[in-house]
Amino acid sequence: MARGGVNLAVVQKARNSLLMRGVYPSIDAVRVEIGNTGSKTTIARYLKQLESPGSEANPRERMSGALRGVVESLLDQVQEEGSQAFLEARAEFEHERKLLVSRAEALESELDELKLGFRAQGDVLAAQTEGFKTTQSTLQTEITRNARLSQSCNDLEVRILEKDGQIQSLEQKHAHAREALEHYRASVKEQRDQDLSRHESQVYQMQQEVTVLQQTLMVKQEEISRLIRDNERFIAENRQHVREASQHREAVETLRADLTIANAATARAEGAKELLAHQLEAKSKEAIEVHSVGIATQQRAEELRVQLEQCEAKLELLRTLNPTGESPEDHED
């Protein structure tokens, strides 16, 4: 449940303040920034709303933040529910315990009063018995009074028996109350142990899920690292092919210059055709060979151009697969 004063505007202000200081706006950092108030679940929901539209964060950072928010929200919920259930059970136990203790004290007080009454009646009975012994000497004149006293004595004995029965009943009730209290204490302790065991099981399950998510994240990071290495390797190969193509272009230019020189020599040789016929034939053969080399060089340059286009296509595919958006110049730096 969100505490008073924590809303989307407050969370956004705290998040912007952390970003301006260069601090990552995690759930704990935002909660400290707003004064250690508000539920982590509520803060995580507001941060998710703020990061969803137009977020420029790195995909790995967004993934890490979302997983951290889910895990922390689940842990907060488990802790709050477990603590609330434990407090409610403890309050109920204390209330019932106080009721039983009050009832036991009332029963003990009533038992004490009955014992005092029994002692008083015992004293009265002793006094009357003593008087009865005294009046035995005047049995003839006090026979009527003796009968009355005998009846009173019988009545008192009946009452004493009744009081004894009441005392025994109260003692049995007191014993039953103690047994009920002990049974209730045992049942409450057992229930509390079961709740704690269930809570520990849930916490362990959450820890297992967090471990699986962390392992998945590590696998994804390894895949991204491998793609980055492949991208760098393809860039290096592409640069090597570019250098080779440049070298071949220079060789073609050199051959073209030689061909130009040969053509000039051929033109000069036309004026002295009859005198330099053997030289012309030699130069013609040399020109044919140079031309053949030029054609082969052009074919090689065309093959290198095709390979260069293939490398550029692979590079473009790697750029599409690479979410970092780094250019070859960035890797070179």
How far apart are alpha carbons 238 and 226 in whole angstroms? 18
pLDDT of residue 276: 64
Q: What is the CA radius of gyration of the chain?
A: 53
Q: How far is CA 332 from CA 178, 185, 322, in A?
A: 85, 74, 16
Q: In which element (H, E) is residue 272 found?
A: none
Cβ atoms 202, 301 nearer than 8 A: no
Number of C-beta neighbours around residue 106 at 10 A: 10
pLDDT at 16: 92
Residue 171: predicted pLDDT: 85
Closest by CA to 221, choosing from 27, 330, 331, 58, is 58
| Distance of alpha carbon 255 from alpha carbon 258, whole angstroms | 5
Q: Please give the pLDDT value at position 61.
A: 47
Tokens found for residue 216: 């998945």
Indicate whether this model's pTM tops 0.85: no
CB of 111 closer than 8 Å to CB of 174: yes
State both tokens at 330.
């960035």
Counting other chains too, the contacts that 309-313 makes at CB distance below 8 Å and 24 or more residues apart are 311/234, 311/237, 311/238, 311/241, 312/238
DSSP conformational letter for 2 = P
DSSP string, 97-154: HHHHHHHHHHHHHHHHHHHHHHHHHHHHHHHHHHHHHHHGGGTTTTHHHHHHHHHHHH
Interatomic CA distance for residues 152 and 165, integer angstroms: 20
Going by the DSSP 8-state scheme, the letter that residue 38 receives in this structure is: S
CA distance 185 to 178: 11
DSSP letter string, 285-330: HHHHHHHHHHHHHHHHHHHHHHHHHHHHHHHHHHHHH-TT---HHH
282 token code pair: 């030699």
- CA quadruple 104, 105, 109, 115: dihedral sign: positive
User: What is the torsional sign of CA 320, 322, 324, 330?
Assistant: negative
d(CA 328, CA 326): 7
Question: What single DSSP character describes residue 23?
Answer: -
Per-residue pLDDT tens, the chain, 333 aa: give them: 344 567 889 999 999 999 898 888 899 999 999 988 888 899 999 988 887 654 444 444 444 555 666 666 676 676 667 667 767 777 888 888 889 888 888 888 888 888 888 788 878 888 877 876 777 777 788 778 767 877 887 888 888 888 888 888 888 887 887 888 888 888 878 888 888 888 788 778 877 876 887 787 788 778 778 877 887 887 888 788 778 868 877 876 887 787 788 677 656 756 666 776 676 677 778 778 878 887 888 888 888 888 888 888 888 888 887 655 554 444 444
